[in-house]
Amino acid sequence: MPLSRSTLGSLAVGGALATTLAALAYPSMLGIQTTASNQARIIANTQWGPLTEADRNFVVFVRSAGLWESPSGSLAMQKGTTAAVREAGRHLVVGHAALDASCRQIAPELNITLPDQPTPQQQGFLANFRADKGKQFDSDFANTLRMTHGSIFNVIAKIRSTTENTLVRALADQANDVVLDHITQMEKTGLVNFDQVNFQETTPPKLPGAQVTPPVPQPGAPLVTLTVPPGLSTDGVPTGPATTPSPSAPSPTASPTTG
Protein backbone atom coordinates (compact mmCIF):
# COMPACT_ATOMS: atom_id res chain seq x y z
CA MET A 1 0.00 0.00 0.00
CA PRO A 2 1.44 3.42 -0.90
CA LEU A 3 2.07 6.05 1.73
CA SER A 4 -0.79 8.38 2.56
CA ARG A 5 -0.77 11.86 0.99
CA SER A 6 -0.20 13.52 4.38
CA THR A 7 2.78 11.32 5.10
CA LEU A 8 4.27 11.84 1.66
CA GLY A 9 3.98 15.56 2.17
CA SER A 10 6.03 15.42 5.36
CA LEU A 11 8.79 13.06 4.22
CA ALA A 12 11.39 15.79 3.92
CA VAL A 13 14.02 13.82 5.73
CA GLY A 14 16.34 11.31 4.08
CA GLY A 15 19.60 12.90 3.07
CA ALA A 16 18.35 16.03 4.79
CA LEU A 17 19.31 14.48 8.12
CA ALA A 18 22.95 15.14 7.37
CA THR A 19 22.02 18.71 6.48
CA THR A 20 19.96 18.94 9.64
CA LEU A 21 22.93 18.00 11.77
CA ALA A 22 25.08 20.49 9.92
CA ALA A 23 22.56 23.27 10.44
CA LEU A 24 21.51 22.46 14.00
CA ALA A 25 22.08 25.37 16.38
CA TYR A 26 21.42 23.84 19.77
CA PRO A 27 22.67 25.36 23.03
CA SER A 28 24.85 23.51 25.48
CA MET A 29 25.17 24.01 29.20
CA LEU A 30 28.38 25.82 28.39
CA GLY A 31 26.32 28.70 27.07
CA ILE A 32 27.04 28.16 23.39
CA GLN A 33 24.08 29.66 21.54
CA THR A 34 25.24 29.66 17.93
CA THR A 35 26.93 27.25 15.61
CA ALA A 36 29.48 27.93 12.91
CA SER A 37 29.37 26.40 9.45
CA ASN A 38 32.40 24.24 10.27
CA GLN A 39 31.12 21.13 12.02
CA ALA A 40 34.68 20.18 12.92
CA ARG A 41 34.97 23.26 15.15
CA ILE A 42 35.87 22.21 18.69
CA ILE A 43 33.43 23.65 21.22
CA ALA A 44 34.88 21.98 24.33
CA ASN A 45 37.98 20.10 25.39
CA THR A 46 36.98 17.26 27.70
CA GLN A 47 38.70 14.40 29.48
CA TRP A 48 37.17 12.11 26.83
CA GLY A 49 38.64 14.06 23.95
CA PRO A 50 37.62 17.18 22.02
CA LEU A 51 33.91 17.75 21.45
CA THR A 52 32.99 19.20 18.06
CA GLU A 53 29.75 20.77 16.91
CA ALA A 54 29.01 17.62 14.90
CA ASP A 55 29.52 15.51 18.04
CA ARG A 56 27.17 17.65 20.09
CA ASN A 57 24.52 17.72 17.36
CA PHE A 58 24.70 13.95 17.03
CA VAL A 59 23.94 13.42 20.73
CA VAL A 60 21.02 15.88 20.50
CA PHE A 61 19.67 14.17 17.38
CA VAL A 62 19.85 10.66 18.84
CA ARG A 63 17.86 11.89 21.81
CA SER A 64 15.35 13.70 19.57
CA ALA A 65 14.88 10.60 17.41
CA GLY A 66 13.96 8.53 20.45
CA LEU A 67 11.37 11.07 21.56
CA TRP A 68 9.20 10.30 18.51
CA GLU A 69 10.29 6.80 17.54
CA SER A 70 9.63 5.28 20.96
CA PRO A 71 5.98 6.42 21.00
CA SER A 72 5.75 5.35 17.35
CA GLY A 73 6.82 1.90 18.45
CA SER A 74 4.16 1.89 21.17
CA LEU A 75 1.54 2.80 18.55
CA ALA A 76 2.74 -0.04 16.34
CA MET A 77 2.35 -2.54 19.16
CA GLN A 78 -1.23 -1.28 19.67
CA LYS A 79 -2.38 -0.60 16.10
CA GLY A 80 -0.28 -2.87 13.90
CA THR A 81 -2.40 -5.36 11.99
CA THR A 82 0.41 -7.89 11.55
CA ALA A 83 2.77 -9.59 13.95
CA ALA A 84 5.76 -8.21 12.02
CA VAL A 85 4.61 -4.60 12.46
CA ARG A 86 3.97 -5.14 16.16
CA GLU A 87 7.38 -6.76 16.54
CA ALA A 88 9.05 -3.84 14.77
CA GLY A 89 7.32 -1.56 17.26
CA ARG A 90 8.74 -3.55 20.17
CA HIS A 91 12.25 -3.19 18.78
CA LEU A 92 11.78 0.58 18.53
CA VAL A 93 10.66 0.90 22.14
CA VAL A 94 13.43 -1.28 23.55
CA GLY A 95 16.21 0.05 21.34
CA HIS A 96 15.46 3.71 21.94
CA ALA A 97 15.14 3.21 25.69
CA ALA A 98 18.73 1.96 25.65
CA LEU A 99 19.98 4.79 23.44
CA ASP A 100 18.13 7.31 25.59
CA ALA A 101 19.83 5.97 28.72
CA SER A 102 23.21 6.47 27.05
CA CYS A 103 22.35 10.00 25.91
CA ARG A 104 21.17 10.96 29.40
CA GLN A 105 24.35 9.49 30.87
CA ILE A 106 26.88 11.24 28.66
CA ALA A 107 25.10 14.59 28.21
CA PRO A 108 25.99 15.91 31.69
CA GLU A 109 29.58 14.73 31.25
CA LEU A 110 29.85 16.70 28.01
CA ASN A 111 27.69 19.64 29.16
CA ILE A 112 25.11 19.04 26.43
CA THR A 113 21.51 20.16 26.87
CA LEU A 114 19.11 17.46 25.72
CA PRO A 115 15.71 18.21 24.15
CA ASP A 116 12.50 17.04 25.78
CA GLN A 117 10.42 17.23 22.59
CA PRO A 118 11.05 15.95 19.06
CA THR A 119 11.37 18.35 16.16
CA PRO A 120 8.18 19.77 14.60
CA GLN A 121 8.78 17.52 11.59
CA GLN A 122 9.07 14.46 13.82
CA GLN A 123 5.93 15.50 15.69
CA GLY A 124 4.21 15.56 12.29
CA PHE A 125 5.26 11.97 11.59
CA LEU A 126 3.84 10.93 14.95
CA ALA A 127 0.57 12.79 14.32
CA ASN A 128 0.16 10.93 11.01
CA PHE A 129 0.61 7.59 12.77
CA ARG A 130 -1.98 8.51 15.39
CA ALA A 131 -4.49 9.39 12.65
CA ASP A 132 -3.80 6.32 10.51
CA LYS A 133 -5.96 3.22 10.71
CA GLY A 134 -5.53 -0.41 9.70
CA LYS A 135 -3.29 -1.27 6.79
CA GLN A 136 -2.55 2.40 6.11
CA PHE A 137 -0.91 2.63 9.52
CA ASP A 138 1.20 -0.44 8.78
CA SER A 139 2.42 1.00 5.47
CA ASP A 140 3.12 4.51 6.74
CA PHE A 141 4.89 3.16 9.82
CA ALA A 142 7.18 0.78 7.92
CA ASN A 143 8.08 3.19 5.12
CA THR A 144 8.58 6.30 7.23
CA LEU A 145 10.74 4.54 9.81
CA ARG A 146 12.72 2.69 7.14
CA MET A 147 13.50 5.98 5.44
CA THR A 148 14.49 7.91 8.57
CA HIS A 149 16.64 5.07 9.87
CA GLY A 150 18.28 4.57 6.48
CA SER A 151 19.25 8.22 6.43
CA ILE A 152 20.60 8.48 9.97
CA PHE A 153 22.59 5.28 9.37
CA ASN A 154 24.87 7.24 7.05
CA VAL A 155 25.23 10.04 9.62
CA ILE A 156 26.23 7.55 12.30
CA ALA A 157 28.98 6.18 10.06
CA LYS A 158 30.41 9.65 9.51
CA ILE A 159 30.39 10.51 13.21
CA ARG A 160 31.92 7.15 14.12
CA SER A 161 34.74 7.60 11.61
CA THR A 162 35.59 11.20 12.54
CA THR A 163 34.91 11.81 16.24
CA GLU A 164 37.85 12.00 18.65
CA ASN A 165 35.58 11.89 21.70
CA THR A 166 35.33 8.44 23.28
CA LEU A 167 31.85 9.03 24.75
CA VAL A 168 30.45 10.07 21.37
CA ARG A 169 32.26 7.18 19.71
CA ALA A 170 30.65 4.69 22.12
CA LEU A 171 27.22 6.22 21.44
CA ALA A 172 27.82 5.91 17.69
CA ASP A 173 28.76 2.24 18.12
CA GLN A 174 25.57 1.60 20.05
CA ALA A 175 23.43 3.62 17.64
CA ASN A 176 24.88 1.71 14.69
CA ASP A 177 23.69 -1.61 16.12
CA VAL A 178 20.28 -0.32 17.18
CA VAL A 179 19.53 1.53 13.93
CA LEU A 180 20.61 -1.41 11.77
CA ASP A 181 18.27 -3.62 13.79
CA HIS A 182 15.41 -1.16 13.23
CA ILE A 183 16.12 -1.03 9.49
CA THR A 184 15.98 -4.83 9.41
CA GLN A 185 12.72 -4.93 11.36
CA MET A 186 11.04 -2.50 8.97
CA GLU A 187 12.14 -4.61 6.02
CA LYS A 188 10.81 -7.76 7.69
CA THR A 189 7.30 -6.29 7.59
CA GLY A 190 7.32 -6.82 3.81
CA LEU A 191 5.78 -3.37 3.37
CA VAL A 192 8.79 -1.24 2.43
CA ASN A 193 8.54 0.42 -0.98
CA PHE A 194 12.26 0.59 -1.73
CA ASP A 195 11.96 2.78 -4.81
CA GLN A 196 9.98 5.33 -2.88
CA VAL A 197 12.20 5.16 0.21
CA ASN A 198 15.40 5.50 -1.82
CA PHE A 199 13.99 8.49 -3.68
CA GLN A 200 13.04 10.21 -0.43
CA GLU A 201 16.49 9.52 1.06
CA THR A 202 18.42 10.85 -1.92
CA THR A 203 16.23 13.78 -3.03
CA PRO A 204 14.60 15.19 0.10
CA PRO A 205 12.76 18.51 0.02
CA LYS A 206 14.35 21.33 1.97
CA LEU A 207 12.70 22.40 5.20
CA PRO A 208 13.18 25.53 7.33
CA GLY A 209 15.61 25.04 10.19
CA ALA A 210 12.84 25.48 12.76
CA GLN A 211 11.11 22.36 11.42
CA VAL A 212 14.11 20.10 11.94
CA THR A 213 15.46 21.46 15.24
CA PRO A 214 14.05 20.19 18.55
CA PRO A 215 12.63 22.88 20.85
CA VAL A 216 14.97 24.00 23.62
CA PRO A 217 13.67 22.73 26.98
CA GLN A 218 12.53 25.18 29.63
CA PRO A 219 15.06 25.72 32.44
CA GLY A 220 14.33 23.46 35.39
CA ALA A 221 11.90 21.26 33.47
CA PRO A 222 12.13 17.56 34.43
CA LEU A 223 13.96 15.43 31.90
CA VAL A 224 11.72 13.03 30.01
CA THR A 225 12.97 9.46 30.36
CA LEU A 226 12.32 6.74 27.78
CA THR A 227 11.97 3.35 29.43
CA VAL A 228 10.88 -0.18 28.58
CA PRO A 229 7.36 -0.80 29.94
CA PRO A 230 7.14 -3.46 32.66
CA GLY A 231 6.68 -6.91 31.21
CA LEU A 232 7.86 -6.01 27.70
CA SER A 233 10.47 -8.52 26.57
CA THR A 234 13.87 -7.25 25.48
CA ASP A 235 14.83 -10.58 23.93
CA GLY A 236 16.59 -10.34 20.59
CA VAL A 237 16.88 -6.56 20.62
CA PRO A 238 20.42 -5.10 20.48
CA THR A 239 20.85 -2.37 23.06
CA GLY A 240 24.45 -2.08 24.15
CA PRO A 241 25.49 -1.14 27.67
CA ALA A 242 25.06 2.46 28.76
CA THR A 243 28.48 2.61 30.37
CA THR A 244 31.03 5.39 30.44
CA PRO A 245 34.33 4.56 28.69
CA SER A 246 37.55 5.37 30.45
CA PRO A 247 38.82 8.91 29.90
CA SER A 248 41.20 9.36 27.02
CA ALA A 249 42.90 12.34 28.63
CA PRO A 250 43.76 13.27 32.23
CA SER A 251 41.77 16.52 32.37
CA PRO A 252 39.08 16.09 35.09
CA THR A 253 36.41 18.41 33.66
CA ALA A 254 35.18 19.86 30.41
CA SER A 255 36.47 23.29 29.54
CA PRO A 256 34.70 25.40 26.93
CA THR A 257 36.38 26.98 24.01
CA THR A 258 35.17 30.22 22.52
CA GLY A 259 31.50 29.90 21.51
Mean pLDDT score, 20-27:
44
pLDDT above 50: residue 20 = no
pLDDT at 246: 57
Q: Is position 204 within any domain?
A: yes
Q: Is position 190 within any domain?
A: yes
Q: Is position 110 within any domain?
A: yes
Q: Name the pTM for this structure.
A: 0.84
Q: Is position 122 within any domain?
A: yes
pLDDT above 80: residue 111 = yes
Q: Report the chain's terminal Cα–Cα distance, integer Å.
A: 48
Q: Which domain holds residue 87?
A: 5-28+54-213
In this predicted model, what pLDDT tens digit does every residue of 36-71 receive, in sequence order?
457 788 989 999 999 999 999 999 999 999 999 999
Q: Are 89 and 144 in contact (CB under 8 A)?
A: no
pLDDT above 50: residue 240 = yes
pLDDT above 80: residue 31 = no
Q: Is position 37 within any domain?
A: no
Domain count, the chain: 1
Mean pLDDT score, 78-88:
98
Q: Is position 258 within any domain?
A: no
- CB-based burial, 179-203: b 16+ in 10 Å, e otherwise: bebbbebbbebebbbeebbeebbee
Strands of the 255-256 sheet, one edge to the other: 49-52, 42-46, 255-256
CATH number for the domain spanning 90: value is: 1.20.1260.10
* Higher pLDDT, residue 169 or 223: 169
Q: Is position 222 within any domain?
A: no
pLDDT at 102: 97
pLDDT above 60: residue 15 = no
